[in-house]
Amino acid sequence: MKKAALHNLGCKVNAYETEAMQEMLEKAGYEIVPFREGADVYIINTCTVTNIADRKSRQMLHRARKMNPDAVVVAAGCYVQAQDREHGQDPCIDIVLGNNRKKDLVKVLREYEAQRARKQTKDMEEIGQTREYENLHLSKPGEHTRAYIKVQDGCNQFCTYCIIPYVRGRVRSRTQEDVAGEVRNLAANGYQEVVLTGIHLSSYGIDFDGERHLLSLIRTVHEIEGIRRIRLGSLEPGIITDEFARALSELPKMCPHFHLSLQSGCDETLRRMNRRYTAAEYYEKCRILRRYFDNPALTTDVIVGFPGETEEEFEKSFAFVDKVNFYETHVFKYSRREGTKAAAMDDQVSEQKKAERSARLIELGEKKRRAYEQSFAGREVEVLVEEETVISGETLQTGHTKEYIRVAFKGNESLKNTIVTLPVDNDLQIIH
């Protein structure tokens, strides 16, 4: 039996695809082993969102080659998609699998291994031209209680800092029937929570005729017996309307946890980013969600040091984050990505300034996180129990609330994969 090792880089969509490729290999008779010496096949699902991600992808590919010079090294995904259009492929790679071609993994592997004189094999397509959604499926995700489900691929937004539309292509959505089939199978296997994810989740269904949009998909999943929680991946502010928020609030399985991409709280910076909303419009979206949900967890991403960001612009962004009161703020120092418009912009910000701004925003984010968590004192929360963990020498059960606050409490191991209601008091620890 041949041994295969997989390594994932990047986003939740990549993680889903890596798990799907692992399942395909298992069904084809491969033994899945840890990513270290001794594998016959190494599969790296790569990322190219920043120059740092490119470097990590290259490092993992070269590490695989060094661990076993005779192994078959497979590079899949965004990094190799970008390399094909920019520089050509690294000779340490045996098989190149572009986006929308991961479903071919087993077939391409077999064809490659049948060659007598092996040479680099590529399975690529012009990703910007395809309208086909690549169907990958999971029956047993890596997490035992929560399942991430990819429902959409591609992006039409073309933010100036982002390479993703060029390597993932245009928006392509998975049919609701196919999503529902996977969710039913997961529910039958005991999963109680699903997270709907995509490269640009808010665009789900825009490539379909009729009314098969994201809200329609959520309602379809909501009807599936056995699923008790639905969570959403990252959303764009534009999708949040009174109608959308009201409809979600009427679905009991919907988690009041919303990740709304911000990137900057300064209008001038947002314009250079091509983000298509103002800070005031974004703030109104947060108000809408808080109107229909009781104390929802609002989380976001913020980029500091975007080209041209002055001290005044950063202070505007800082003040805006302070005003919104996010539960969690994920802070990223702008990383130049060749091939994007932002990489060629004047007034690139120094690494020192990026670090200073990042530190200030992270400190603010921690203060806001603590304040949000403290707002639950004296209330009851529903916890999906996920695993047993030892904390300060004590064995505790841990899980997440509907707001995605991770907590720990004394309890029996038999509670795993059940939902329990607990008071927020001294016996319930909030952990990070």
Torsion of CA 383, 384, 386, 388, to 10 degrees: 30
pLDDT of residue 91: 84
Range of the domain at 78: 3-123
Which token pair is 381? Answer: 């929360």
140 assigned to some structural domain: no
363 assigned to some structural domain: yes
The CATH number of whichever domain residue 169 belongs to comes to 3.80.30.20
Same domain assignment for residues 369 and 384:
no
Same domain assignment for residues 325 and 386:
no
Task: Examine the fold and report which residue of 72, 88, 123 is the final residue of a domain before the chain moves on.
Answer: 123
pLDDT of residue 117: 58
Question: Which pTM was predicted?
Answer: 0.91
d(CA 151, CA 114): 34
Same domain assignment for residues 10 and 42:
yes
Which token pair is 413? Answer: 């191991």
Residues 6+ apart with CB under 8 A from 87: none
Candidates 379, 381, 384; CA nearest to 229 is 384
Same domain assignment for residues 73 and 102:
yes
Q: What is the mean pLDDT of residues 220-233?
A: 97
Task: Examine the fold and report which residue of 63, 90, 123 is the final residue of a domain before the chain moves on.
Answer: 123
Same domain assignment for residues 203 and 235:
yes
Same domain assignment for residues 39 and 112:
yes
Over 90: is that where the pLDDT of 83 sits? Answer: no
d(CA 384, CA 208): 34
Same domain assignment for residues 86 and 220:
no
30-65 tens-digit pLDDT: 999 999 999 999 999 999 998 889 999 999 999 999
pLDDT of residue 85: 64
Same domain assignment for residues 155 and 262:
yes
Same domain assignment for residues 185 and 76:
no
More confident: 143 or 391: 391
| CA distances, 265 to each of 161, 258, 322 (Å) | 16, 18, 10
Over 70: is that where the pLDDT of 257 sits? Answer: yes
d(CA 2, CA 422): 47
Report how many domains make up the chain: 3
Q: What is the mean pLDDT of residues 345-349?
A: 95
pLDDT of residue 86: 61
* Cβ-contact 316, 282 below 8 angstroms: no
Same domain assignment for residues 117 and 248:
no
pLDDT of residue 209: 83
Same domain assignment for residues 167 and 77:
no
Same domain assignment for residues 361 and 270:
yes
Please compute, for residue 181, the number of CA atoms within 13 A of its CA located in the half-sphere on the CB side: 9
Task: Examine the fold and report which residue of 56, 89, 123 is the final residue of a domain before the chain moves on.
Answer: 123
